[in-house]
Amino acid sequence: MTAIDPYRRYWNEQGATRTFTTPFDLDLFTRYVSPDSSVLDYGCGYGRTVQALAEAGYNDVIGVDISHALVQRGLAEHPSLDLRHLPEDTIPIPDQTFDGVLMLGILTCIPSTSDQAQCLREVLRVMKPGAYLYLNDFLLNNDRRNLDRYAEGQRKYRVYGMFDIKDGGTFRHHNLEHITSLLGDMDLLHVEETVFETMQGHISNGCRVLARKK
């Protein structure tokens, strides 16, 4: 079993119909990564951000996702995009290929810390020295609904911040220090706390990070 296997079924079934909501700050990204750069969208889903980059003049963008259903949905909606199914943990692309990588709401979908670390090691492998990683994700909340489900998740998974949703998905909210620690010795150029709308229509704390590989 690979690290992504436990999550693949959900994103091929119930998750494949979801509308993703975490915003992409194109202005922040273009401040560091020019349109002539090679870019990877890791966990591209149905290609919404790959399409946004194409419309902004980026012509060398690849999206990969563990969900075959989401990739097929994206290709049906945007046939011109380069969206690829990711059948294994390893990205089938050579080392040091990309000038920029996106990870939008990915860590929340991979609730195991060891699986998150493995994912980021693979992402770093395909980044050139000096390449940029744009990451956003969900942070812990203090409202009663979330506190109750974090407590239940901690009893079930022994990890605070993990929780199940009604359609079968398992997710995780983090503290900001956990997310930045996963980036190892990358240079943190932009770290911003914000709020996002979730796939279920709720409001959650979130973060936006821009880091550079040394």
pLDDT digits (tens, 9 = 90+) for 9-47: 777 777 677 878 889 999 999 999 999 999 999 999 999
Query: CATH for 5-107+123-138+188-212, among 3.40.50.300, 3.40.50.620, 3.40.640.10, 3.40.50.150?
Result: 3.40.50.150
Lowest mean pLDDT across 26-30, 55-59, 108-112: 108-112
Q: Give all strands (DSSP E) within the chain, no chain letters.
A: 39-42, 61-65, 83-85, 98-104, 127-138, 162-164, 170-172, 187-197, 203-212
pLDDT digits (tens, 9 = 90+) for 155-202: 999 999 999 988 778 999 999 999 999 999 999 999 999 999 888 888
